[in-house]
A and B are shown apart, each in its own frame.
Chain A
Amino acid sequence: MINIHFDDSKTLWERWQRNAQRTPDRDAIVFWAAGEEPFRWTYKKLIETAKKFSVLIRDAGIKKGDVCAIIMRHNALFYPLYLGISRAGALPAVLAYPNPRLHPDKFRQGLEGMSQRSGLDYILTEADLDPMIRPLYEKEGSTIKSVFFPLEWDYKKDIDPAKDAEVENIAKSIQETDPMLLQHSSGTTGLQKPIKLSHRAILDHVKNLGGAWQVTENDKLISWLPLYHDFGLIACFHIPLAFGITSIQMNPFEWVLAPVILLEAITKEKATMTCLPNFAYNVLAEKIHDDELAEINLESLRLVLNGAEPIRHDSHQKFVEKFQKYGLNPLSLACIYGMAEVTLCLVTSVPGLPLPELVVNRNELSKGFLKFADKDSVTRVCVSTGRLINGCEIRIVDENKIDVPDGVVGEILAKSISMFDGYRNYPEKTKEAFYDGWYISGDFGFKHNGEYYIIGRKKDLIIVAGKNLYPEDIEDVINKVEGVTPGRVIAFGEEDDEMGTEQVAVVAEIIDERLDKNKIRLAILKTGMEIDINIHKVYLVPPRWLIKSSAGKPSRMANKGRLAEKNDPLIWCR
């Protein structure tokens, strides 16, 4: 039963405050850290602490409209800090905390590119990162005005009522069309595009998507997804908070090391919803010993949402087979498809109904046509990502942008009332993203019986465990590896059926076939590590092996196709 009244709040802060007035003692955020008692932010406590942070933010000189990059590990204070930034009228932009393997120079380069593009004004981070960040912000011409360490702020002390009133006035002056946050697309060398979302876009979106998921007062959403990812930030943080329900937040690094902790938390908290990228279904189904599952009970789950990477039928099947005996309702499986540019979602499954799946002829599908499989077909199972949510429209078009009929594969164009307000300071990229008012997704799919099936993508994006990687970033660094011919490298994604995701593969021409190939491979792997990318497979080929595109650069698609022709003795692969 949908019993949440979505009021007429104009900003997220207003909405959060009203939730705190309505249900002050309800858990807003349950912060999970392995081996510790969960920390519980009630709505009342969360808002009170956010107010204190907002005054400290103001004291730090941060003004309305300033962009505050937050680079922090899993920490309970992240949540009131984020809300406090919003109350002060500044824009939070959550960025990934650097993995230790990421080279400090590469981290700085990425941040510098991002700051020049997005105009990051302040960095709110942990003191540990100071040595890495300081050279960047002290650099002449840096857009970054200062770096702060909010975890060291005295947020418990009473706030000056006059200052509190001043910040409240700022909060009241925020218009619904004002930008609320920045989300950065993936990338490592400043290619990231800063997506600007308004209060209105987010409020409309959480209302429409929450409506599609039939969110009720009884729901509790649990997530280990990082908050720099739209699936984590919008689906698992903004939706629960805007609806006034509970969000249980887990540490992504802990989850990936010990996946069972998600199931333990679902059992203890009686969570009803969770969001997972496809690979997580494989990990949960295949990488946990049965004897660790004795206490697990998944009966409370009513929605297990798959998104952020291509959805695989096999992963769902493994997941259900493993967990049905632990109370998992197979009808809880659901999907979502969208992108950060429309805030998050375009289509999602209808809760409680079986996921529509089509067994189709793979060869016909690769030609662009839906044809159901017969006994002689090579088959592919396509899983529906769902139906349109309110406020969204989709067109499926051919290469001339002419609409194709149902059952024909084309490119997805999208409209949403929660469309982003452009890439910040990037008008040329914003313009490129649209065709006649429609956002060009770069994804291919088809429609059948009102359901949308996404089957591939036009862009050369690689999605590893829900994380988007750009081949250009990888190729740029591998080009510099000793023994590799500069400019003669391609990177692409290869299916890893066991893990239920893509993995990064690299093809590199070597300058001399007599060189030690194992040594070059190791150098390639280490170079990938410096930009925090794990290269799964290395193909080394002789000079002039790679096929060039008409633009004179090695073609990813053509060379990937050439690799598929087995038994080429010129290819060294490991």
Chain B
Amino acid sequence: MISQELKKVILTQLDLDDFDLQDETMATQVPGWDSLNHVNIILAVEKHFNIKFKSYEVLRLKDVGDLQKLVDTKTGK
């Protein structure tokens, strides 16, 4: 399940007030989350949680649920 904290970071970066982000939500379904903006979202998540992703980890992400799992792994949750 997507944490409110991760959701807030993503929506802030996309300048959206609200959007229904679920585990299976893919970037292509979210307004503003295009390939050019993807790198900015990843950097915003890294900065907020004070973590760093490897490029290959980012490449394997299929949906928001994967991103949540990766954040959880990195933050030791």
Q: Which residues of A contact B (CB under 8 A)?
A: 34-35, 99-101, 253-254, 256-261, 279, 283, 287, 289, 291-292, 464-465, 499, 501, 518, 522, 525-526, 528-529, 534, 536, 574
- B39: which of A101, A257, A292, A574 is its contact (CB, 8 Å)? A257
Which residue of B16, B37, B39 has the most chain A CB atoms within 10 A of its CB atom?
B39
Given contacts A100-B28, A101-B29, A522-B31, contact A499 B55 (CB under 8 A): no
B39 and A522: CB pair below 8 A?
no
**Could you give 28 example pairs across A and B, Cβ below 8 Å?**
A34-B56, A34-B59, A35-B56, A35-B59, A99-B28, A101-B28, A101-B29, A253-B35, A256-B35, A256-B36, A257-B38, A257-B55, A257-B58, A257-B59, A258-B55, A258-B58, A258-B59, A261-B55, A287-B40, A287-B43, A292-B55, A518-B17, A522-B16, A522-B31, A525-B31, A534-B36, A534-B37, A574-B15
With a 10 A CB-CB cut-off, give which of B36, B38, B40, B52 has the most chain A CB atoms. Answer: B36
Question: Given A257-B58, A518-B17, does the pair A283, B39 have CB atoms closer than 8 Å?
Answer: yes
Residues of A within 8 A of B29 (CB): 101
Q: By the criterion CB–CB under 8 Å, are A534 and B59 in contact?
A: no
Chain A residue nearest to B15 in the complex (CB): A574
Question: A213 to B15, alpha carbons, bound, how many Å?
Answer: 44
* Chain B residue at smallest Cβ distance from A291: B52
Establish whether residues B36 and A464, one from each chain, have CB atoms under 8 Å apart when the complex forms.
yes
Residues of A within 8 A of B59 (CB): 34-35, 254, 257-258
Interface residues of B (CB under 8 A from A): 15-17, 26, 28-29, 31-32, 34-40, 43, 52, 54-56, 58-59
The 10 closest A-B pairs by CB, nearest first: A258-B55, A525-B31, A101-B28, A534-B34, A256-B35, A100-B28, A287-B39, A260-B55, A258-B59, A34-B59
A525: nearest chain-B partner, CB-CB: B31
Give the complex CA separation of A476 and B52 in angstroms: 42
* A283 to B39 Cα, complex, angstroms: 8
CB of B18 to closest CB in A, whole Å: 9
How far does the Cβ of B21 sit from chain A's closest Cβ, in whole Å? Answer: 14
Residue numbers in B under 8 Å from A260 (CB-CB): 55
Residue of A nearest to B60 (CB): A35
Which of A34, A100, A292, A499 is the one whose CB lies under 8 Å from B36? A499
Instruction: For B35, list chain A residues within 8 Å (CB).
Output: 253, 256-257
Contact A256 B38 (CB under 8 A): yes
A contact residues around B32 at 8 Å (CB): 525, 534, 536
The reply to whether B36 and A465 contact each other, CB–CB distance below 8 Å, is yes
Q: Closest chain A residue to B43 by CB distance?
A: A287
**CA of A92 to CA of B39, assembled, Å:** 33
Given contacts A287-B39, A534-B34, A534-B36, 5 further A-B contacts (CB under 8 A): A35-B59, A259-B39, A291-B52, A501-B36, A574-B15
Q: Report the bound CA distance from A253 to B55 in whole Å.
A: 13
- Chain B, residue nearest A526 (CB): B31
Most chain B beta-carbon neighbours within 10 Å: one of A257, A259, A261: A257
Return the chain A residue nearest B46 by Cβ: A289
Contact indicator B39/A256 (Cβ below 8 Å): yes
B56 adjacent to A258 (CB under 8 Å):
yes
The answer on a CB contact under 8 Å between A529 and B55 is no
Q: How far is the CA of A574 from the CA of B31 in the complex (A)?
A: 13
Bound complex: CA of A518 vs CA of B31, how far in Å?
Answer: 13
Residues in A neighbouring B56, C-beta threshold 8 A:
34-35, 258
Q: How far is the CA of A135 from the CA of B40 in the complex (A)?
A: 38
In whole angstroms, what is the CA distance A520 to B73 when docked?
A: 38
In the bound assembly, the distance between CA atoms of A136 and B12 in angstroms comes to 40
Set of chain A residues within 8 Å of B38, measured between Cβ atoms = 256-257
How far apart sit A182 and B68, CA to CA, in the bound complex (Å)?
A: 44
CB distance from B39 to the nearest CB of A (A): 5
Instruction: From A258, A261, A287, A529, name the one whose CB has the most chain B CB atoms within 10 angstroms.
Output: A258
CB-CB < 8 A to A518: which residues of B? 17
**A279–B52 touching, CB < 8 Å:** no
A32: min CB distance to chain B, Å: 12
Residues on A with C-beta less than 8 A from B52 are 289, 291
Interface contact A529-B31, CB-CB below 8 Å: yes
Nearest opposing residue in chain B for A35, CB measure: B56
Q: Which residues of B contact A259 (CB under 8 A)?
A: 39, 55
Bound-state CA distance A261–B54 (Å) is 11
Q: How far does the alpha carbon of A525 sit from the alpha carbon of B28 in the complex, in Å?
A: 12
Complex formed: what's the CA distance from A291 to B28 in Å? 29
Select from chain B the residue with minimum beta-carbon distance to A252: B35
The smallest C-beta distance from B48 to any residue of chain A, in angstroms, reads 15
A283 and B43 CA atoms in complex are apart in Å by 12
Task: Report the minimum CB–CB distance from A37 to chain B (whole Å).
Answer: 14
A534–B37 CA distance with the chains assembled, in angstroms? 9
Residue numbers in B under 8 Å from A522 (CB-CB): 16, 31
A438 to chain B, nearest CB (A): 35
- CA of A260 to CA of B59 in the docked complex: distance in angstroms? 11
Interface centre among B16, B26, B34, B59 (most CB of A within 10 A): B34
Residues of B within 8 A of A256 (CB): 35-36, 38-39
Whole-angstrom distance between the alpha carbons of A321 and B76 in the complex? 35
Q: CA A47 – CA B42 in complex, angstroms?
A: 42
Residues of B within 8 A of A258 (CB): 55-56, 58-59
Complexed CA–CA distance, A534 and B14 (Å) = 11
The CA of A574 and the CA of B34, in the complex, are separated in Å by 17
A-side contacts of B40, CB under 8 Å:
287
Q: Cβ of A101: which chain B residues have Cβ within 8 Å of it?
A: 28-29, 34
* B residues near A261, Cβ cutoff 8 Å: 55
Give B63 Cβ to nearest chain A Cβ, in Å.
12
Residues of A within 8 A of B37 (CB): 534
